[in-house]
Amino acid sequence: MGFGVLPDITNLILVHPYLGHIAGRTIPFALGSDFVDFPQILDHWTYHVWLLSHSLLFWAIVFAPLWRRSSGMKLATLAYLSHVLADLPSHTGAYGLEPFYPVHYIFDGWFDAWLWGPGPIAVSVVLTTVVFLLTRALRQRVLWPSERQDKTLNRA
């Protein structure tokens, strides 16, 4: 799960506090509207670090080589990649992702999660958690054919 949220850590510790400071927030943490009201964030280094963390080239150079290390690293690299791929349709306009950063090509998604308020974010987290728990419960009851074969071999 940590590797799945890792691309956004730069946003939480760099972009949001800096933009919240620029916006004059008492607690320096940006609101969604601050991204519209202060577009100069697009030129700040904190935003470029966020673009780098969401780059498929960054993933290929840093994480893909870890693939062969262990099954845990396979899961970690897939979690990181799935985050980047899931973000592609949810970032539009000036805040579209640059999947090949530092090569400048903005992928324009279909809706803008940058402008989500706390309500939609909470609903998203709750729904994702419910889907995860249901999937985990289902996986404890339903085995893949190879898993059935492994259990049969272990009993013998």
pLDDT at 94 over 80: no
Q: What secondary structure letter does DSSP report for 80?
A: H
The amino acid at 1: M
Report pLDDT digits (tens) over 95-148.
778 888 888 888 877 777 666 666 777 787 788 889 889 988 888 877 777 766
As a whole number of angstroms, the distance between CA 43 and CA 84 comes to 21
pTM of the model: 0.66
DSSP label at residue 16:
H
Neighbours of 59 (CB within 10 A): 19
Mean pLDDT of all residues in 39-58: 89
Dihedral sign for Cα 30, 1, 127, 51, please: positive
